[in-house]
Structure 1
Amino acid sequence: MMEYVNPGETLEDLNRNGLTIIQKKKGFRFGVDAVLLSDFAKVRKKDRVLDLCTGTGIIPLLLSAKTESPAITGLEIQHEFVDMARRSVLMNKLENRVVILEGDLCDEALLKSLPKVDVVTVNPPYKKAASGIINEEDALTLARHEVALTLEDVIRAARICLKDNGRLYLIHRPERLADLLTLMRQYRMEPKSLRMVYPHAKKAPSMVLVEGQRDGGAFLKVLPPLFVYDEDGSYSDEIRRIYGDDRR
């Protein structure tokens, strides 16, 4: 496996069917948000999936283990991440199911050239371009801030790529929820379910998982909260289930 790993990179065990992912030792690394999103997404046996803002390919890799989807595509604008994701796909011998494309989700011609999919997943940049401290490293800036795209770009892209009644699954910050739901309605991506993620029971939510449906009927189901930690500071049973290990 190490022949796929470049200097300055490392392998991380995903605790799923022996899968591993290539990551930078220093710099952008996937977090709990990507793992939660891959668990939240409902992918049926024959569903074709497109993961926007795929980064180093964590969500396509996790979905390949969790689902029987025959075709999972990741789209990423940053060449460095695309290269790492493609090497992870080859290393895990998933090239018959997982494809990583280099491209911009704001490129409407590119999106329309892709086959329509049943499911779109996306873990987009959370912060508005003018908010927070912009990281000096370009890769981190693009991954965390709306520099190369906006939340509206993400919702528009999902609508273009989905089949009729196709489903969108994304994760974002609670403070952007009003923006998110408004844009989903604007692009006729009807919100269908919502789940808040809390660090623990005494903290405010830090993430929100949302499911939408292209041209779906109006009905929003609010799911039970998800707690990352129990009161004693150990990981909750649900987090251990999602990660597939015995972490504490």
Structure 2
Amino acid sequence: MVQLKNDERLDYLLAEDLRIIQSPTVFSFSIDAVLLARFAQVPFRKGKIIDLCSGNGVIPLILSTKTKCPITAVEIQQRLSDMAERSVNYNQLDGQINVINGNIKDMPELLGHGKYEAITCNPPYFVTPSKEVINPNEHLAIARHEILCTLEDVIRVTSRLLKQGGKAAFVHRPGRLMDILTLMRQFRIEPKRLRFVYPKMGKEANTILIEGIKDGRPDLKILPPLYIHTDDNQYSEEVREMLYGDR
């Protein structure tokens, strides 16, 4: 059994045969998190993995089906980290996934420099707007806007946590691509794989997936495009497999 609070619900991660606690007023994961978890390259048996800005823990849960390595999930909002921890316990993954309620900026000193083979992060996408336009829901505002951490914070911390040769994967918006590439190189994470995600064919890309290697050699590969929907507004075959495990 799992204890649900307020308006929480227990949803399925169908492709992984797992369950996850969600809340419409606190946090529910988006497809971006699923795309990142599927895109990221993680070691299977040897090494340690850390997910920054974990929200309700969806990325560590999905990664647990791809690896036997220990996974650390870091989330600054206590309410969200509590949801993640209860989901981990419900799925009996507490032996593999450790949830930390804390600020990512504190993690290099807390966990050690250069200790991780793989890092994932689905960070807040938007710079902090004026108080007049920011979401009045504190949980959603912090998850979406750079209130408690910036893009530079994310990439700087990632570099400090990564081993030399370790891989870092991010999901973000195309409008921040130049910022991401510049910061990755500034903090010694060489961009290696980039994939543009489109709502459907004929539309502009609205998401990017990018992976880099700590102190890697320059050689950026542009991967084939990923389309979320078909022309008749159904999920594409690739996305259906990610979400439901079928073709």
TM-score, structure 2 normalization:
0.94
Post-superposition offset of 1:172: 0.3
User: What percent identity do the matched residue pairs reach?
Assistant: 44
Q: Quick one: higher RCO (CA 8 Å, sep 6+), 1 or 2?
A: 2
1:107 alignment partner, SS class: helix
User: Which sections of structure 1, spanning at least 5 residues, go unmatched?
Assistant: none
Contact 1:111/1:157 (8 A) holds in 2: no
Give the equivalent residue in structure 1 for 2:170: 170
Give the equivalent residue in structure 1 for 2:232: 232
2:105 alignment partner, SS class: coil
1:195 and 2:183 correspond: no
User: Would the alpha carbon gap of residues 133 and 243 (structure 1) be closer, same or farther in structure 2, given more than 3 Å must change?
Assistant: same
Give the equivalent residue in structure 1 for 2:17: 18
1:147 alignment partner, SS class: coil
Output the amino acid matched with 2:11: E
Give the equivalent residue in structure 1 for 2:124: 125
User: Would the alpha carbon gap of residues 127 and 183 (structure 1) be closer, same or farther in structure 2, given more than 3 Å must change?
Assistant: same
Give the equivalent residue in structure 2 for 1:139: 139
2:79 alignment partner, SS class: helix
Deviation track 1:118-141 (CA, whole Å, cap 9, x = no partner) reads 000000000011379310011111
Post-superposition offset of 1:242: 1.0
Give the equivalent residue in structure 1 for 2:8: 9
Post-superposition offset of 1:109: 5.3
Give the equivalent residue in structure 2 for 1:81: 80
Give the equivalent residue in structure 1 for 2:58: 58
Most deviating of 156-165 and 114-123: 114-123
User: Would the alpha carbon gap of residues 173 and 19 (structure 1) be closer, same or farther in structure 2, given more than 3 Å must change?
Assistant: same
Counterpart CA distance in 1 for 2:144 and 2:243 is 23
User: Would the alpha carbon gap of residues 240 and 16 (structure 1) be closer, same or farther in structure 2, given more than 3 Å must change?
Assistant: closer
Give the equivalent residue in structure 1 for 2:208: 208
Contact 2:114/2:160 (8 A) holds in 1: no
Counterpart CA distance in 2 for 1:192 and 1:156 is 17
Output the amino acid matched with 1:186: Q
User: Which sections of structure 2, spanning at least 5 residues, go unmatched?
Assistant: none
Counterpart CA distance in 1 for 2:242 and 2:107 is 34
2:71 alignment partner, SS class: strand
Output the amino acid matched with 2:83: M
1:180 alignment partner, SS class: helix
Post-superposition offset of 1:112: 4.7
**Number of residue pairs matched by the alignment:** 245
1:4 alignment partner, SS class: coil
Contact 1:48/1:69 (8 A) holds in 2: no
Deviation track 1:42-68 (CA, whole Å, cap 9, x = no partner) reads 112124210000011000001112x12
Counterpart CA distance in 2 for 1:74 and 1:93 is 15
Segments ≥4 residues shifted beyond 6 Å:
none
Contact 1:111/1:161 (8 A) holds in 2: no
